[in-house]
Amino acid sequence: MNSSKPLTGGGLLFEVLEQHGVEHVFGYPGGAIMPIYDALYDSNVKHFLCRHEQGAAFSAVGYARAAGKVGVCMATSGPGATNLITGLADALADSIPVVAITGQVATSAMGSDAFQEIDIFGLSLACTKHSFQVSDINDLENVLHQAFEIALEGRQGPVLVDIPKDIQQAEVTSRLEEFSHLTNKVQLPLADISNAIDILTHAKQPILYVGGGVGMANAIDEVRSFAEQTGMPSVSTLKGLGAINADNENYMGMLGMHGTKASNLAVQECDLLVVVGARFDDRVTGKLNEFAPNAKVIHFDIDTAEINKRRFADAAILGDLKANLPLLSMSLNISEWQAKVKQMKADFGWRYDHPGSKIFAPAVLKEMSDLMPKNTCITTDVGQHQMWSAQHISVDDPCNFLTSGGMGTMGFGLPAAIGAQISRPHDTVIAVSGDGSIMMNVQELATIKRYQIPVKILLIDNAKLGMVRQWQDLFFDGRLSETDLADNPDFSQLARSFEIKAQTITEKSQVSEALKEMIDHQGPYLLHVKIDAKDNVWPLVPPNTANDKMMESV
């Protein structure tokens, strides 16, 4: 701080950020947030200028997810603020702790349709966990502290703080001794432990259904030792990938729409689902009333509202997974079931043989997974390449697989990788993107260039909006409507114009060397991989169908 100047609202913002350990923020300036950017000038917080506010929001999400910290983004009023919204919605759907700061027109101008005035506070109601609009400089400090507390408390999520320009400029005359903590925490009902133990002891064919809540609760060790001690076969959601170690012999991989055949068949047959930090999402369950039709449910969660929301829980255990799960740990006599599951796993393993010389994306992703250094953080965009990544890349921690799960937002991958790399400068970060998705936040190549962020981009190019094309082929009589991208730019040349090293490959024989070159390269790198436009993601459970009725080819 420059001690000759009085502390303003803007300066206070950065003091509070520093008190919460924030070292990096992502943002974009503009008129109504200028006093905050002026205060930034004197601050120790490092700001990354993204090239679109959506990029800033996703970088904050990637930062938060990769490092397990709160991500912070900021934007000006009006269009700056609305550009953050998709990122906030994404963070809400995936329960990611983000604090978004928006500038607002001065209090006196609010409500007058002033230049760049939008009711971002009203807009935020549906896409944040909570939001604040500060109307008095004396409230600012408390609000900012509460924003961090709310983002991290219970089920995590995004919080928006809208700060009018005059509040940013106002002089701070008194400081808090201590901020007021949240008082209205949801009281969790007593856990049904004895009932759950009873159900578990009687189960003959139990399955552990692992979701994103495990990583968020920091309960990976507890879930792994529960899986070991019970010997229970396990399956994972998209967001849970990495929570169970891939070498656990009873782990069957992802379940749901593009889950493994073994996972989906086993879940349909099981007599008990032990659900940890998962929420019976429709992409997981397929036709809900035919999902795991014979199973009782023991549901562990931090959010009361998830219990009985989509599936009745025979026993609900609300609260901290880390503390609660060990209470149920016991050895089970389920060797017949384990043997059956192992057989399914062996019978329905992935196959990487593929005729012809064209590149087969699943094989590329598998090879990359085998080559990449330990602790590599993968981000993905949305589409076929995302599902192939989930199927064929193995990670050992959910913070190493960042993908837009609940919202399925194209444009996530590149800015999330930037955030991840900034939070973990010593780990390799690879964004797996598609030719459609990368164009949604392609401007962030400029952020990579400016800060020389050594992100690797594996671009799977099928010259299509592939996932939509696949659905049009399968479910809309092949009427390909607006899914062709044959006129894509030359992606390698595009990358080079941002001083990013790049290479395009088209043949299987080029894959190994190109992957090695990308991974070993010190700086940013784009590997452009052209694949056949007709390749599909298998298996696929068609919409509103039971999970055991998956399609495996056309």
* Site residues (vs ligand TPP, CB under 6 A): 381-385, 408-411, 434-437, 460, 462, 464-468
Which stretch in 98-106, 179-187, 449-457, 464-472 sits in contact with another protein by CB under 8 A? 179-187
Q: Is 366 helix (H, G, I), strand (E, B) or coil?
A: helix
Minimum distance between the CB of residue 372 and Mg ion, rounded to whole angstroms? Answer: 22
Catalytic residue among 165, 239, 345, 366: 165
Do residues 394 and 369 lie in contact, with contact meaning Cβ atoms separated by under 8 Å? Answer: yes
130, two tokens: 């909570």
Which stretch in 47-55, 240-248, 300-308, 319-327 sits in contact with another protein by CB under 8 A? 300-308
What's the half-sphere exposure (Cβ side, CA atoms, 13 Å) at 55?
Answer: 22
Cβ proximity to another protein: between 98 and 235 the closer is 98
Residue 312 CB contacts under 8 Å (≥ 6 apart), including other chains = 297
Q: Which of 150, 214, 217, 272 binds another protein (CB under 8 A)?
A: 150
Binder of residue 122, out of ligand TPP, Mg ion, another protein, none (CB less than 5 to 8 A by kind): another protein
Q: Which of 309, 340, 501, 521 binds another protein (CB under 8 A)?
A: 309
Do residues 96 and 64 lie in contact, with contact meaning Cβ atoms separated by under 8 Å? Answer: yes
Length of the chain counted residue by residue: 554
Catalytic residue among 14, 26, 48, 53: 53
Residue 288, interface with another protein (CB under 8 A)?
Answer: no
What gap in Å lies between CA 95 and CA 157, rounded to an integer?
5
What gap in Å lies between CA 457 and CA 56, rounded to an integer?
18
Cβ proximity to Mg ion: between 162 and 435 the closer is 435
Minimum distance between the CB of residue 495 and Mg ion, rounded to whole angstroms? Answer: 17
Residue 184, interface with another protein (CB under 8 A)?
Answer: yes
The stretches of 184-260 forming alpha helices (DSSP H) are 193-202, 213-216, 220-230
Query: Exposed, middle or buried, 106 (CB in 10 Å: 0-12/13-18/19+)?
Result: middle
Cβ proximity to Mg ion: between 456 and 464 the closer is 464
Task: Classify strands 315-318 and 296-301 as parallel, antiparallel or unpaired.
Answer: parallel
Which stretch in 20-28, 123-131, 468-476, 477-485 sits in contact with another protein by CB under 8 A? 123-131
Catalytic residue among 467, 470, 472, 498: 467
Minimum distance between the CB of residue 440 and Mg ion, rounded to whole angstroms? Answer: 12
Please say if 467 is a catalytic residue: yes
Helices (H) and strands (E) in the chain, counts: 21, 18
Please say if 177 is a catalytic residue: no
**Distance in Å from the first CA to the final CA of the chain:** 64
Binder of residue 468, out of another protein, ligand TPP, Mg ion, none (CB less than 5 to 8 A by kind): ligand TPP
| DSSP strands (E only) in 442-522 | 456-461, 501-505
Cα Rg of the chain (Å, integer): 24
* Phi–psi pair at 99, nearest 5 degrees: -115, 125
Binder of residue 187, out of ligand TPP, another protein, Mg ion, none (CB less than 5 to 8 A by kind): another protein
Cβ proximity to ligand TPP: between 253 and 406 the closer is 406
What's the Cα-to-Cα distance from 173 to each of 2, 103, 141, rounded to whole Å?
16, 21, 11
Strands, sheet with 429-434, edge to edge from the N-terminal-most edge strand: 401-402, 377-380, 429-434, 456-461, 525-530, 501-505
Report the site for Mg ion in 458-477 (rule: CB under 5 A): 462, 464, 466
Please say if 470 is a catalytic residue: no
* Helix orientation angle between 9-19 and 137-152, rounded to the nearest 10 degrees: 30
* Helix orientation angle between 53-67 and 79-93, rounded to the nearest 10 degrees: 30
What's the half-sphere exposure (Cβ side, CA atoms, 13 Å) at 210?
Answer: 34
Minimum distance between the CB of residue 224 and another protein, rounded to whole angstroms? Answer: 30
Please say if 510 is a catalytic residue: no
Residue 215, interface with Mg ion (CB under 5 A)?
Answer: no
Report the site for another protein in 238-257 (rule: CB under 8 A): none
361, two tokens: 């994306």
Binder of residue 47, out of ligand TPP, Mg ion, another protein, none (CB less than 5 to 8 A by kind): none
Cβ proximity to another protein: between 125 and 551 the closer is 125
Binder of residue 130, out of Mg ion, another protein, ligand TPP, none (CB less than 5 to 8 A by kind): another protein
Catalytic residue among 115, 312, 475, 476: 115
Do residues 494 and 461 lie in contact, with contact meaning Cβ atoms separated by under 8 Å? Answer: no
Minimum distance between the CB of residue 304 and another protein, rounded to whole angstroms? Answer: 5
Q: At residue 500, what is the residue type?
A: I
Residue 204 CB contacts under 8 Å (≥ 6 apart), including other chains = 271, 334, 336, 337
Please say if 165 is a catalytic residue: yes
The footprint of another protein on this chain (CB under 8 A) covers a number of residues equal to 19
Binder of residue 381, out of ligand TPP, Mg ion, another protein, none (CB less than 5 to 8 A by kind): ligand TPP
Residue 435, interface with Mg ion (CB under 5 A)?
Answer: yes
Interface residues toward another protein, by CB under 8 A: 121-122, 125-126, 129-130, 150, 182-187, 303-305, 307-309
Active site residues: 53, 115-116, 165, 467
